[in-house]
């Protein structure tokens, strides 16, 4: 049985039965769900009961299970990663991985027998399609390859238009480990197994992403979709975001603290007035004449060129050319012409609008977004980015995909107050952004 609590539960409670029915009826894809963060609590409890504690005694499994049972309080995103050693210990064998995967897929793709505690709606499957992501783990009981085949065995119990996997590279991996994962992903996909993409994930404070660049490039060239967790933490480095955006991933996870400079440089957005950048700030987006703008140097060179041209072409008499208003007009003309050059440059580069994977409850509980109304989804919606709504890790964030969609539709302060058409469009974008679409040789 799924558990739902906190902001998504409050949003779902605030909706009318017909609104809940509307959300349930939308075909929607779950594109950002981590296998090990989505294992139902009851499954972990049962795995813990059968777990031979003598094998890895340094993990205090019981206290983590108890912590999970009572509801996790997260002060910082780093707290979340502390839960994982215990979950990993519980899923260290192929049979435990199979069992966990089966229960995660069932939770997303099959209707539960009852609604979550406290709710009365008739349950339906939480999503129409899932791309479940997982980092292949080697343990004393299995290789990374065996881990992936165990997950795939369960995924492939469902038809191709229901489930596929994304292979996650953990930021703490060595380059050789990352290469092994990418090669395994390609080999399995080539063997007809249901691998559709690669992901970069893990503690955002760890690792050097540039070491993985050529491996992600290799995966992309081999036809796998690429998504990366990017600008996830407040102190995520701008240099790192620039490297990751340079890979041109098909989708981006979170993108919470992406700078305005990078947005201007990579996305070619035309900022709408009154909507701040996605860095949780309401300040207006900077313009090319601001020295901080990434295209400032280009703009300034174009401005100088146009300034000289306009002055040269002017037929005004010398005394007029000395007046302040003449200089003012020339400046205005040069500025306009330089802006047109910048726009042409952006068009020439080609608009890059990757789908942003939004995990609203995850952001609120990890406190990377201070409140719903400050959530960066508002920026991306206003700037016509494809977005998709996802759960990230249903276990610690105690949410469901239905709960995340409730956060879109519920009226403030429980949700963003979007209308039915807007929410329907977001669900459509999730289906359009599937890596499996066109890659599985079916009508997915």
Member of 30, 126, 269, 392 binding Zn ion (CB under 5 A): 392
* Residue (146 or 227) nearer to Zn ion, CB: 227
* Residue (142 or 364) nearer to Zn ion, CB: 364
Does residue 103 belong to the site contacting Zn ion (CB under 5 A)? no
Strands (E), 250-329: 251-254
Give residues with Cβ within 8 angstroms of 172, minimum separation 6.
202, 203, 206, 207
Q: How far is the CB of 133 from Zn ion (least distance, A)?
A: 8
Query: Shortest CA distance to 424 belongs to which of 13, 23, 20, 11?
Result: 23
Residue span binding Zn ion (CB under 5 A) among the ranges 99-107, 146-154, 258-266, 391-399: 391-399
Q: How far is the CB of 431 from Zn ion (least distance, A)?
A: 20
CA 160 to chain centre: 22
Taking the C-alpha atoms of residue 159 and residue 129, their distance in angstroms, rounded to an integer, is: 10
Number of Cβ atoms within 10 Å of the Cβ of 240: 17
Rounded to 10°, the helix 401-409/17-25 angle is 120
Q: How far is the CB of 30 from Zn ion (least distance, A)?
A: 12
Taking the C-alpha atoms of residue 434 and residue 31, their distance in angstroms, rounded to an integer, is: 7
Total interface residues for Zn ion by CB under 5 A: 1
Residue span binding Zn ion (CB under 5 A) among the ranges 4-12, 41-49, 389-397, 416-424: 389-397
Tokens 């440089």 belong to 265
Q: For Zn ion, which residue has the nearest CB?
A: 392
Does residue 170 belong to the site contacting Zn ion (CB under 5 A)? no
* Residue (299 or 435) nearer to Zn ion, CB: 435
Burial call 58-67: b when 16+ CB within 10 Å, e when fewer: ebebeebbeb
Q: How far is the CB of 89 from Zn ion (least distance, A)?
A: 21
Q: How far is the CB of 32 from Zn ion (least distance, A)?
A: 6
195-201, strands of its sheet edge to edge? 29-34, 129-134, 163-170, 195-201, 225-230, 251-254, 355-358, 387-389
Pairing of strands 163-170, 129-134: parallel
Q: How far is the CB of 416 from Zn ion (least distance, A)?
A: 21
CA quadruple 375, 378, 384, 389: dihedral positive or negative? positive
* Residue (35 or 97) nearer to Zn ion, CB: 35
Q: How far is the CB of 199 from Zn ion (least distance, A)?
A: 8
Q: How far is the CB of 176 from Zn ion (least distance, A)?
A: 24
Tell me if residue 156 falls in helix, strand or coil: coil
Residue span binding Zn ion (CB under 5 A) among the ranges 151-159, 209-217, 366-374, 392-400: 392-400
Residue span binding Zn ion (CB under 5 A) among the ranges 1-9, 144-152, 390-398, 412-420: 390-398
* Residue (230 or 295) nearer to Zn ion, CB: 230
* Residue (103 or 392) nearer to Zn ion, CB: 392
Give residues with Cβ within 8 angstroms of 277, minimum separation 6.
258, 259, 260, 263, 271, 283, 285, 379
Q: How far is the CB of 84 from Zn ion (least distance, A)?
A: 12
- 399 touches 407 (CB < 8 A): no
* Residue (251 or 335) nearer to Zn ion, CB: 251
* Residue (229 or 260) nearer to Zn ion, CB: 229
Residue span binding Zn ion (CB under 5 A) among the ranges 83-91, 156-164, 182-190, 386-394: 386-394
* Residue (334 or 407) nearer to Zn ion, CB: 407
Number of Cβ atoms within 10 Å of the Cβ of 443: 8
Residue span binding Zn ion (CB under 5 A) among the ranges 51-59, 176-184, 281-289, 387-395: 387-395
> Which residues form the interface with Zn ion (CB under 5 A)?
392
């Amino acid at each position: 049985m799924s558990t739902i609590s906190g902001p998504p539960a409050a949003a779902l409670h605030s909706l009318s039965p017909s609104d809940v029915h509307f959300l349930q009826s939308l075909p929607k894809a779950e594109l950002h769900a981590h296998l090990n963060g989505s294992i139902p609590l009851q499954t972990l409890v049962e795995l813990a009961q059968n777990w031979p504690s003598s094998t890895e005694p340094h993990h205090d499994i019981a206290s983590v299970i108890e912590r999970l049972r009572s509801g996790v309080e997260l002060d910082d995103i780093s707290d979340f990663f502390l839960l994982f050693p215990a979950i990993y210990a519980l899923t260290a064998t192929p049979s435990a991985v199979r069992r966990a995967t089966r229960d995660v897929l069932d939770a997303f793709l099959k209707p539960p027998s009852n609604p979550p505690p406290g709710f009365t709606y008739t349950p339906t499957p939480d999503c129409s399609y899932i791309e479940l992501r997982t980092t292949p783990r080697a343990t004393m009981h299995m290789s990374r390859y065996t881990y992936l085949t165990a997950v795939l065995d369960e995924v492939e119990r469902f038809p191709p238009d229901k489930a596929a996997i994304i292979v996650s590279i953990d930021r703490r991996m060595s380059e050789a480990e990352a290469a092994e994962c990418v090669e395994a992903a390609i080999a399995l996909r080539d063997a007809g197994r249901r691998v559709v993409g690669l992901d970069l994930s893990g503690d955002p404070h760890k690792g050097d992403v540039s070491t993985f660049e050529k491996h992600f490039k290799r995966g992309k060239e081999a036809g796998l979709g690429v998504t990366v967790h990017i600008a996830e933490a407040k102190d995520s480095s701008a240099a790192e975001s620039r490297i990751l955006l340079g890979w041109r991933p098909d989708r981006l996870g979170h993108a919470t603290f992406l700078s305005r400079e990078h947005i201007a440089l990579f996305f070619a957005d035309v900022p709408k007035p009154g909507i701040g950048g996605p860095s949780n700030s309401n300040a207006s987006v900077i313009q090319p004449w601001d020295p901080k703008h990434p295209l400032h140097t280009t703009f300034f060179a174009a401005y100088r060129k146009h300034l000289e041209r306009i002055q040269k072409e002017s037929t005004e008499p010398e005394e007029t050319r000395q007046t302040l208003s003449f200089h003012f007009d020339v400046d205005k003309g040069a500025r306009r012409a330089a802006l047109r050059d910048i726009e042409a440059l952006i068009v020439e580069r080609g608009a890059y609008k990757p789908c942003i994977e939004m995990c609203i409850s995850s952001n609120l509980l990890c406190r990377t977004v201070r409140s719903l109304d400050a959530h960066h989804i508002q920026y991306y919606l206003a700037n016509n980015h494809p977005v998709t709504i996802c759960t990230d890790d249903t276990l610690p964030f105690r949410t469901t995909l239905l709960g995340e969609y409730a956060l879109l539709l519920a009226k403030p302060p429980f949700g963003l107050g979007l209308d039915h058409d807007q929410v329907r469009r977001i669900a459509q974008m999730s289906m359009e952004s599937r890596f499996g679409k066109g890659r599985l040789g079916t009508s997915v």
